[in-house]
Structure 1
Amino acid sequence: MKSLHTILAASVLAAVAGSAMADTAVVQDGYAFDRNQLIPTGVRAEVGTTGYGGALLWTANPYVGLALGYNGGDISWSDDVKIDGSEYDLDMDNNNVYLNAELRPWGASANRWAQGVYVAAGVAYLDNDYGLERRVQPGEAFKVNNTNFIADQNGNGVDIKGQMEYKNDIAPYLGLGFAPKINNNWGVFGEVGAYYTGNPKVNLTGSGDALTGGQDFQDALRAEERKIANDDKYEWMPVAKLGVSYHW
């Protein structure tokens, strides 16, 4: 799975570079590359499921643009993590740097709404920490690894804390966006997509007394760690964001 992740990232990065640099078709249409295209043509501010931040924008030609951006902060795309009857509160800390090629199939259209439609393909450096927490009151029944437990009535309850991490990871990205201009300078945009992140690292620690007639509480935590880390749905990081742009 790790090798597949690496191949995908390398393939998307090559596609980004190729889309940005291969201008043969558009040169024939009169859009020759010049060194002024190395200067950003705009900026944007954005907020969404991967945090808040912004990007520098380049327009290579009407059909191809580049966005180099950063998203950070603790905006969550989900309030919890669920696995086999267990539910953990999720606290996200995002730290992402991304490079996307934005391909506009109708970039030269006279219709500004059609011009705004684009497909984004790129890569990101992810360094994300997701805090997991679950608090069980004394006497309350709960599940870990699909096993029934009861927090000791005479204790202080059970507290489970943990971390789910995507560390030092290069992730390929594919998305669909809409970025129409309001006037010559200002525009708005929205984008949805997903990063392929591979499986995260997960650790869980539990404190307090849990009573059961079956599996040991600590053994159940280790098994639940493995299930969260290997769950297919946590191989993908969904993306949805909105923002405003300024072009000069």
Structure 2
Amino acid sequence: MKTLATILAASILTAIAGTAMAADDAVVQDGYTFERNQLIPTGVRAEVGTTGYGGALLWTANPYVGLALGYNGGDISWTDDVSVNGTKYDLDMDNKLAYLNAEIRPWGASTNRWAQGLYMAAGVGYLDNQYDLQKRIGDGETLSINGNNYELAVAGQEGNVRGQMSYENDIAPYVGFGFAPKINKNWGLFGEVGAYYTGNPKVQLTQNNLAPVTGNTIPAQVAVDQEANEIANDDKYQWLPVGKVGVSFNW
């Protein structure tokens, strides 16, 4: 899976470069000019969403093509739990995501500002996200792990399953769609949805103070290891959904 992600990322970067150059040639023919040595950003953006909060530097190559180089971080989460075999683990997210996207605007030269704001984003992200998983029980409660029930091994003390799910230091390709209309000459709004292809995560879970209920012969840690393996190989965790909004300023 990691090889596939690398191939996809390389393909997207090649497509970004090719699209930017092709669009640049077309724009020059239409009477626009592009200063190739103009590396100063043309705007900035503040954003918040499922991958955390942060911002981006913006470059406008021409009316049809732009670039966004940004960073999102923090503990904002897109879901509060991870569910497997009927067991829901509380999820605490720590996002660290740097990204480079090309934003393709098919109607960038339109006189309609709403049409101008529509774009497709393609790029790559560098993910160092880490998710803490936890499930706790107290006296008189049972916890289902991989289809088997467990209770406190020692009464009066908390029992739990804790661990981590991580996509560390991974390059992930990204596709998305956005709408960024201008309010006036300088200020604009921004909204985008998309997804990163991350591949399967690494998952580690450890049980504490749990014992099988009567009739269950499977040790708690064995069941926990089996459940961690199921989470790590669940197809739905190969994708990191993205949804974010913000405001931009262009000079």
Fold shared by both chains (TM-score > 0.5): yes
CA positional deviation for 1:155: 4.4
> Retained in 1: the 8 A contact 2:152–2:211?
yes
> Retained in 2: the 8 A contact 1:155–1:209?
no
Deviates more, 1:35-44 or 1:178-187: 35-44
The one-letter amino acid of 2:220's match is: F
The equivalent residue for 1:245 is 248
Deviations 1:170-193 (A, max 9, x none): 000000000000000000010000
Matched, 1:79 2:62: no
CA positional deviation for 1:216: 1.5
> Retained in 1: the 8 A contact 2:150–2:210?
no
The equivalent residue for 2:129 is 128
Deviations 1:160-210 (A, max 9, x none): 110011101000000000000000000001000000000111100111032
Q: Which runs of 4+ in 1 moved over 6 A?
A: none
Q: Equivalences for 1:219-238 in 2 at 5 Å?
A: 219-238=222-241
The equivalent residue for 1:172 is 173
Rounded to whole Å, the distance in 1 between the matches of 2:147 and 2:235 is: 18
SS across alignment from 1:30: coil
CA positional deviation for 1:152: 4.0
Q: Which runs of 5+ in 1 are unaligned?
A: none
Rounded to whole Å, the distance in 2 between the matches of 1:159 and 1:153 is: 12
Rounded to whole Å, the distance in 1 between the matches of 2:150 and 2:134 is: 17
- TM-score (structure 1 length as normaliser): 0.96
> Retained in 2: the 8 A contact 1:131–1:163?
yes
The one-letter amino acid of 1:88's match is: Y
> Retained in 2: the 8 A contact 1:42–1:246?
yes
SS across alignment from 1:35: coil
Identity across the alignment (%): 68
Deviations 1:126-145 (A, max 9, x none): 00110111111122122111
SS across alignment from 1:222: helix
The one-letter amino acid of 1:175's match is: G
The equivalent residue for 2:59 is 58
Deviates more, 1:151-160 or 1:8-17: 151-160
The equivalent residue for 2:210 is 209
- TM-score (structure 2 length as normaliser): 0.95
Matched, 1:110 2:111: yes
Q: Which runs of 5+ in 2 are unaligned?
A: none
